[in-house]
Amino acid sequence: MSEVLKNLSDGLASVVETASPGIVRVEARRRMPGSGIVWSSDGVIVTAHHIIERTENIQIGLQDGTVVPATFVGRDPNTDLAVLRVDANLNPPAWSDADDLKVGHLVLALGRPGENVQATLGVVSAIEEEQIEERRRQRHGGHGEHGGRGGGRGGRGRWGEFRPAPAGGIAIQTDVVMYPGFSGGPLVDAAGFVRGMNTSAMSRGTSLTIATPAVRRVIESLLSHGKVKRGYLGIGAQPVRLPAAISKELEQEIGLMLVSVEEGSPAEKGGLLLGDILVGLDEYPVQVVDELLMLLNSDRVGKEVVAHIIRGGQLQDVKLTVGERE
């Protein structure tokens, strides 16, 4: 027998071993601990926002078994990223910003829910940018299918329906199964490079990884400002079912009716009125508030956007300048 399978097997295990010192256990919630990845040797750790249930008394478990306290630096719910800092010298894994990961590539998801690093294997299923292109085609190509969370494809997760690029970066969809405590751990390629941070935002067998360039942007923002800039329009909104004719034209069943418009806000300055129904922003459909929040990321702060609204039964476009949420 030749040695391809054995070499593959040994190669996978070596990748895990090499990355292992840079993967930590993050104890910041009552249930099972999560995972984190060392960002830099001076003690910066990136992890998943949703596993940080407390910002005091956070403990980090290291490769050698020691446990050290961490301070909370900041978080960005938009990308499910959080940054912690420990007073210790750490071994960062080899992070890669490369964009050469392709659908079909083998990848490992690693985590440290307990003492030791754990691993699982999968294949890249999709790259975020392709998803966005697909959604654009659906919206403008006329055979779209973006059923709302209410009546849409049913049961898909938060990221399943609609995925604007997190913080302008890309995300990687894989078929790896995120086991309990794997959130915040790395997605590692066959050469051992960390391609991003895994979140447990699973939907029907796909898992999501925030790609390294997006991770980098968020970490840099959190380290310098303690937060990530978020867009602000100044509206209160509620999902409503659209009139049948418009629903058919847009191939979209739900929109956001404005139930308040704050004085002096970007929405008021742009001319949005109570009762307008927001159905899209730039080239993206908007059906629920979460989608709007994801679109109002740091890239859009201070920029002009086109809001697609229904007013008096007619579709129209309104230009707005996105403000910054304080």
Partner 1 sequence: MGSLMSNLLQELNDELAEVTTKVRRSLVQITNGRGGAGAGTIWHSDGLIVTNAHVVAGHRTLNITLSTGETLPAKILALDQGLDLAAISVDAKNLPTIEPGDSRQLRAGQWVMSLGHPWGILNAATGGVVISMGSRVGDMESQNGQEWLAVNLHLRPGHSGGPLVDAEGRLIGVNTMMNGPEVGVAIPVHVVKAFLKDVLGRKESSEPVGSVQTV
Residues that bind partner 1 (CB under 8 A): 1-2, 4-6, 8-10, 12-17, 32, 108, 110, 114-121, 177, 179-180
Query: Which SS3 state, helix, strand or coil, does residue 10 take?
Result: helix
Nearer to partner 1, 107 or 172 (CB): 107
Cβ proximity to partner 1, 8 vs 274, nearer residue: 8
Q: Which residues of 45-68 are buried (b: 16+ CB within 10 A; e: fewer)?
A: bbbbbbbbeeeeebebbbbeeeee
Please, which residues have CB within 8 angstroms of residue 220's CB and are 6 or more apart in sequence?
A: none
Min. distance of Cβ 121 from partner 1 in angstroms?
4
In the complex with partner 1, the residue whose CB is nearer, 16 or 127, is: 16
Torsion sign, CA atoms 45, 50, 55, 60? negative
> Least distance to partner 1 from the beta carbon of 37, Å?
16
User: Quick one: 77 or 180, whose CB is closer to partner 1?
Assistant: 180
**Min separation Cβ 114 and partner 1, Å:** 6
Query: What is the closest distance, in whole angstroms, from the C-beta atom of residue 16 to partner 1 in the complex?
Result: 4
Least distance between partner 1 and beta carbon 94 (Å)? 16
| Closer to partner 1 by Cβ: residue 108 or 288 | 108
Q: Cα–Cα distances in Å, from 203 out to 175, 188, 298?
A: 10, 21, 26
9 vs 41, which CB is nearer to partner 1? Answer: 9
Amino acid sitting at position 197: M
Smallest distance, partner 1 to C-beta of residue 128, A: 24
Strands (DSSP E) found in the chain? 23-27, 34-40, 44-48, 58-61, 67-76, 81-86, 106-111, 118-127, 171-174, 186-189, 194-203, 206-211, 231-232, 235-241, 254-261, 277-281, 284-285, 304-311, 314-321, 323-324
